[in-house]
């Protein structure tokens, strides 16, 4: 199979996997949001940073090293497997003893027990991280889809049943643990690999030398992405945190899915052509424009319909989350490109440069966050919006240097898409406020009419202006 066909196949199966999983998750979340209180979602949000840090430290970037490395042996895979397993146990013990202090930090006594149970997921996830890395390296995304969809569906059903029976916040805890357990079982059944009882020091050093830099990078990024949760949970209320977490999760539905698809497929694909800079630049440029061409209008449209969307899905009790959601949608426009352009540095083996960039970016952002804390949650949100564009600028400078694709050229390639999306978003918003909202249409009716109006204008104007992404999409995907 040619690289183009293999990549398109990877995109197809990853797209189906990612959006099927998120569609199920979203449906489950909608049901749970109608049953549970915003405060109960806020409690889980408070733990997100500690769970994310634990998962990051547990792997130490060794799975990423497996994906990018050539000529791997059974020693490599088994060594990483047993290191991850040992790391997960260490992380669980650490979290177990830190749990009371974390609960005290938030002034929420119940968090100690919740965290001690929730963190069992570290150990469960360690049992399938290498199997998942092998499937990704082979670009076997069809099997990954076969594994993940049943896990998410069964776990989601359990969560809904428990919520209906009055388990409250514990329904969210057991849902996530059961999803991890099902996923582990399915990976062992379908991946076709089981570890050998071997641990090779040479293999460990090889992967750790690359991976620890990726771990530090991921740790910095995790702390940054969750700093808003820490600040809101500490200085504001659990109710506001519940609204923020719901707004973020909905805004991340398209953003994180597109980013995950791009990251999962492009990393092994870039690794296979990393010695051909001309071809790598062409693929990078083409995909960057495609990513933004579809991501930008989706998020801007979601910002336009925030009010009827939240009312329709979650009921009016969640309406205070709408302004948060709209700002986060705008911040998410550039998000998939962050991980995408860093993949260039990964395949070039420049994990040191990635770590350096993350430190620089996060220092800039933290300074901004500390300056706006007195201005409340909206100050934090606008800093998040500004930093999204700053991050793209900094990342693209360095990835562009490696490909002879300067930042000025990159900005020129993406600006037409951003401008058209914003202009049509403004037109659609005015149309909705002036004509649809006063007539008091049903929420779903407003969403459908706004959607048709927005995307007909967007596709029509993009075709009329002959934007490059439209041409590439017709040529590569539609074969026209």
Q: What is the pLDDT of residue 455?
A: 94
**Which residue, among 171, 210, 299, has the nearest Cα to 247 in the 3D structure?**
299
What is the rounded average pLDDT of the residues 464-468? Answer: 89
pLDDT 10s digits, 128-151: 888 888 887 776 767 877 888 889
Q: What is the pLDDT of residue 101?
A: 93
Question: In 256-370, at which residue ranges do the beta strands (DSSP E only) sit?
Answer: none
pLDDT-derived band at 262, boundaries 50, 70, 90: low
Distance of CA 389 to the CA centre of its chain: 17
Q: What is the pLDDT of residue 11?
A: 60
- % of the chain at pLDDT higher than 70: 88
- Contact by Cβ (8 Å): 14, 141: yes
Query: Higher-confidence residue: 479 or 162?
Result: 162
pLDDT 10s digits, 358-367: 888 888 888 9
pLDDT 10s digits, 433-442: 998 888 867 8
Q: For residues 28 and 20, give the distance between their C-alpha atoms in angstroms, rounded to a whole number.
A: 12
The winner for highest mean pLDDT among 69-83, 119-133, 135-149 is: 119-133
Q: For residues 206 and 76, give the distance between their C-alpha atoms in angstroms, rounded to a whole number.
A: 9
Average pLDDT, the chain: 84
Query: Higher-confidence residue: 50 or 441?
Result: 50
Q: What is the pLDDT of residue 403?
A: 84
- Contact by Cβ (8 Å): 287, 262: yes
Torsion 380-385-389-391 (CA) sign: positive
Q: For residues 449 and 230, give the distance between their C-alpha atoms in angstroms, rounded to a whole number.
A: 39
Residue 75 has pLDDT above 90, yes or no: no
Residue 236 has pLDDT above 70, yes or no: yes
- % of the chain at pLDDT higher than 90: 32
**Which residue, among 233, 289, 299, 325, has the nearest Cα to 46 in the 3D structure?**
233
Q: For residues 321 and 42, give the distance between their C-alpha atoms in angstroms, rounded to a whole number.
A: 12
Question: In 335-437, at which residue ranges do the beta strands (DSSP E only) sit?
Answer: none
Q: For residues 381 and 387, give the distance between their C-alpha atoms in angstroms, rounded to a whole number.
A: 10
Residue 1 has pLDDT above 60, yes or no: no
Q: For residues 464 and 458, give the distance between their C-alpha atoms in angstroms, rounded to a whole number.
A: 10
Query: Higher-confidence residue: 2 or 84?
Result: 84
Q: For residues 117 and 136, give the distance between their C-alpha atoms in angstroms, rounded to a whole number.
A: 29
């Amino acid at each position: 199979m040619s690289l183009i066909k293999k990549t398109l196949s990877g995109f197809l199966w990853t797209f189906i996997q990612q959006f099927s999983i998120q569609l199920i998750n979203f449906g489950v979340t909608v049901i749970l949001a109608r049953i549970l209180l915003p405060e109960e979602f806020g409690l889980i949000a408070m733990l997100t940073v500690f769970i994310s840090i634990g998962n990051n430290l547990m792997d130490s970037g060794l799975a990423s090293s497996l994906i990018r490395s050539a000529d791997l042996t059974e020693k490599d895979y088994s060594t990483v497997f047993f290191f991850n397993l040992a790391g997960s146990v260490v992380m669980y013990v650490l979290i177990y003893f830190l749990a009371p202090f974390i609960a005290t930090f938030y002034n929420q006594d119940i968090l100690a027990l919740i965290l001690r149970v929730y963190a069992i997921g570290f150990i469960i996830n360690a049992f399938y991280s290498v199997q998942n890395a092998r499937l990704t390296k082979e670009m076997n995304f069809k099997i990954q889809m076969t594994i993940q969809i049943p896990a998410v569906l069964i776990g989601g059903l359990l969560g809904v049943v428990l919520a209906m029976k009055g388990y409250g916040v514990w329904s969210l805890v057991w849902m996530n643990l059961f999803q991890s357990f099902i996923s582990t079982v399915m990976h062992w059944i379908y991946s076709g690999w089981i570890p050998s009882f071997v641990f090779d020091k040479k293999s460990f050093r090889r992967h750790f030398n690359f991976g620890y830099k990726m771990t530090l990078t991921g740790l910095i990024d995790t702390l940054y992405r969750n700093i808003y949760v820490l600040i809101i949970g500490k200085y504001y209320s659990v109710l506001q945190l519940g609204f923020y977490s719901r707004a973020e999760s909905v805004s991340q539905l398209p953003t994180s899915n597109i980013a995950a698809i791009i990251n999962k497929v492009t990393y092994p694909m870039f690794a296979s052509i990393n010695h051909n800079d001309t071809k790598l630049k062409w693929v990078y440029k083409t995909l960057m424009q495609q990513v933004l061409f579809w991501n930008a209008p989706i998020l801007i449209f979601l910002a336009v319909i925030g009010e009827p969307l939240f009312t329709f899905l979650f009921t009016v009790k969640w309406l205070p989350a709408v302004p948060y959601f709209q700002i986060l949608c705008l911040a998410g426009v550039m998000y998939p490109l962050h991980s995408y352009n860093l993949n260039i540095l990964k395949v070039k083996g420049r994990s040191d440069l990635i770590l350096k960039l993350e430190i620089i970016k996060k220092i800039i952002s933290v300074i901004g966050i500390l300056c706006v804390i007195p201005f409340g949650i909206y100050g934090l949100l606008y800093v998040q919006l500004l930093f999204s564009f700053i991050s793209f600028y900094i990342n693209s400078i360095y990835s562009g240097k490696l490909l002879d694709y300067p930042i000025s050229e990159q900005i020129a390639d993406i600006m037409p898409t951003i401008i058209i999306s914003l202009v049509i978003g403004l037109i659609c918003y005015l149309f909705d406020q002036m004509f649809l909202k006063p007539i008091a249409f049903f929420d779903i009716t407003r969403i459908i009419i706004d959607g048709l109006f927005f995307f007909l204008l967007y596709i029509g104007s993009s075709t009329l202006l002959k934007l490059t992404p439209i041409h590439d999409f017709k040529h590569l995907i539609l074969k026209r």
